[in-house]
Amino acid sequence: GQQLNQSPQSMFIQEGEDVSMNCTSSSIFNTWLWYKQDPGEGPVLLIALYKAGELTSNGRLTAQFGITRKDSFLNISASIPSDVGIYFCAGQLRIFGNEKLTFGTGTRLTIIP
């Protein structure tokens, strides 16, 4: 099945730094979602994007729906320890009766003390 390419695979940063990650696809989507997964937990929805070019914020998080509809970006400003985890992008091509999400490969964020 299709996988979305997410980069970087992992990031090691210091507290207070800004973080950027992106996700690219070979096919278009009409919805992009960003999730965060903590160890032993399920993915938690962070931001949802529905229109090409859309820029949406959720606190220190900002995500953008790429204009080509084949990519999306997530930025985290002024990182804090609780930002540690795995971030997943997910794309969806909404066709009636088929709502499956295709997930990215994940970006593992680690904060160096």
Partner 1 sequence: DTAVSQTPKYLVTQMGNDKSIKCEQNLGHDTMYWYKQDSKKFLKIMFSYNNKELIINETVPNRFSPKSPDKAHLNLHINSLELGDSAVYFCASSQDRAAGGNEQYFGPGTRLTVT
Residues lying near partner 1 in the complex (CB under 8 A) are found at 1, 3, 30-31, 33, 35, 37, 40-45, 48, 50, 86, 88, 90, 92, 94, 97-103, 105-106
Closest CA relative to residue 64, chosen from 105, 56, 50, 47: 56
CB of 78 to partner 1, least distance (A): 26
Structure tokens at 60: 């220190």
- Beta strands 19-24 and 5-7 are antiparallel
Cβ nearer to partner 1, comparing 59 with 97: 97
Q: Of the two residues 52 and 77, which places its CB atom closer to partner 1 in the complex?
A: 52
What gap in Å lies between CA 106 and CA 70, rounded to an integer? 17
